[in-house]
Homo-oligomer: A and B are copies of this chain.
Amino acid sequence: MASEVERAIEAILMVADEPIPPDLLAQVLEIPTARVEEICAELATRYQVDDRGFVLARVAGGYRYQTHTDLAPYVERFVLEGQSARLSAAALETLAIVAYKQPVSRAQVSAIRGVNVDGVMRTLQLRGYVDEVGRDPGPGQAVLYGTTPLFLEKLGLDSLRELPPLGEFVPGAEVVEALEQGLSEPS
């Protein structure tokens, strides 16, 4: 027999149209946030054990119902326009730099990529994945950018802490060696 709060959480998430933060559920249900998180974890496990076609996901700081990834082929046939356009390689690289180095200025991103990124940054901002988050206190007061909750949704992440550590991507010894070789003088 499911508890009343458990059922209430299910009902509320069913009418929500964005991820609902646990604090809000806690406030509405008058229970501690920790209890909400416990219940949501239990519900998620329950759906998984029962082999449901949907999951209870934690995304961008909140909970929401989503379809099981297995069933994408069926859902795609049904959803006509849902798919958001793919990001280009240039956009993804720029997004990666903003994600890991935020808050960061356009000039800093340019310096890392070795190309002008003004156009790409505008596109990413227009699509809502990055936004202005402040200004550099130094001279010039460059606009600083950071990622948005929509970016987290796009990647299916709960928070930026879930990004894999950047250290994982530092090139290995063989790449460093190849580059050194490539740049060295012939002896």
- The interface of chain A, by Cβ under 8 A from chain B, is 1-2, 6-12, 14-17, 20, 24, 27-29, 50-54, 65-68, 70-71, 74-75, 77-79, 81-82, 84-85, 114-116, 118-119, 123, 126-128, 186-187
B67–A2 touching, CB < 8 Å? no
This chain: copies in complex: 2
Using CB atoms, name the residue of chain B closest to A128. Answer: B115
A7 and B81 contacting across the interface, CB-CB below 8 Å = no
Using Cβ atoms and an 8 Å threshold, which residues of chain B touch A52? 2, 7, 10
Which residues of B sit under 8 angstroms from A65, Cβ to Cβ?
14
A50 to chain B, nearest CB (A): 7
Alpha-carbon separation in the docked complex, A115 to B24 (Å): 29
Contact A77 B28 (CB under 8 A): yes
CB of A10 within 8 A of CB of B119, answer no
- Which has the most chain B C-beta neighbours within 10 Å: A1, A12, A79? A12
Alpha-carbon separation in the docked complex, A129 to B151 (Å)? 30
Q: Is the CB of A14 within 8 A of B66?
A: yes
Supposing A28-B81, A79-B15 touch, asked if A53 and B7 sit within 8 A by C-beta, the answer is: yes
Choose from B8, B54, B82, B128 the contact partner of A24 (Cβ within 8 Å): B82
How many angstroms between the C-alpha atoms of A139 and B94 in the bound complex? 38
